Amino acid sequence: MDFKIFFDELRDICAKYRLLLVTNVILAVIVFGLAIHAVWAADRSRVIIVPSHLASAVEIQGERASPEYVRIMLLHLTNLLYTYTPYSIMENYREFLAYIPPEKLNEVQEQLQGRIDRVSRLKINETFMATSVVFPERGIGVLSGKTIRWSAGQELATEDIHMKYKYNIKNGGFQIDEISLLTSSEFNALQRTAGK
């Protein structure tokens, strides 16, 4: 009789052990699945920024960004280059250089330093007003606008400029690879290409 009770208890203990084992395996699979999902969600995460002065959201996701974000960045960078006073030009260019890759920094810095010296010496002010931004290809943005240059309250020159930016986005950071000034005919050709 004691053997029967012993075997019944042994059977119950084995059943409990199997139940615990199955439960642990199920929980391990669930935890592993949640870990994979968390890693996948972190890779696919995105940041949506809506500053108070914008009418629409901009999106940056890894190596990609919404066209609105790129447009805002191109306008900002062009304003840093073409909207200044003799007192603000150095700070503007310092901020602009933060968007230049390290391997091109010295070359761009030398070009900008010549401009800083000329503006400081001649006390020139300049203002940029954008008229259009087009994206003919991925990684290329073309910005068009008008600059007005003046000194001592007198207008020196008004000029239409068309700037072509080659840019990339690395880990959500905006970076300028190349900037070039376009002629009106080159700009019109790029606009036609972007319109297709």
Give every CB contact of residue 105 below 8 A, 6+ residues apart in sequence: 97
Residue 192 is predicted with a pLDDT of 75
Residue 51 is predicted with a pLDDT of 60
Give every CB contact of residue 104 below 8 A, 6+ residues apart in sequence: 177
Residue 134 is predicted with a pLDDT of 87
So where are the chain's domains?
A: 1-45, 65-195
Query: Under a CB-based contact definition with an 8 Å cutoff, are residues 65 and 46 in contact?
Result: no
Which single residue is written with the structure tokens 């968007």?
Answer: 99
Query: Under a CB-based contact definition with an 8 Å cutoff, are residues 89 and 125 in contact?
Result: no
Residue 174 is predicted with a pLDDT of 86
Q: Please name the helix (run of DSSP H) or strand (run of DSSP E) that holds residue 53, with its range, or none.
A: none
The alpha carbon of 180 is separated from its chain's Cα centroid by a whole number of angstroms, namely: 20
CATH number of 65-195: 3.10.450.230
**Residue pLDDT, tens place only, 51-88:** 655 667 777 777 788 888 888 889 989 999 999 999 99
Range list of H helices, the chain: 2-43, 67-82, 89-97, 105-122, 184-195
What is the secondary structure of 144-195 as a DSSP string? EEEEEEEETTEEEEEEEEEEEEEEEEETTEEEEEEEEE--HHHHHHHHHHHH
Q: List, for the chain, all residue ranges whose pLDDT scores fall below the cut of 70.
A: 1, 46-55, 194-196
Radius of gyration of the chain (CA): 30
Residue 48 is predicted with a pLDDT of 64
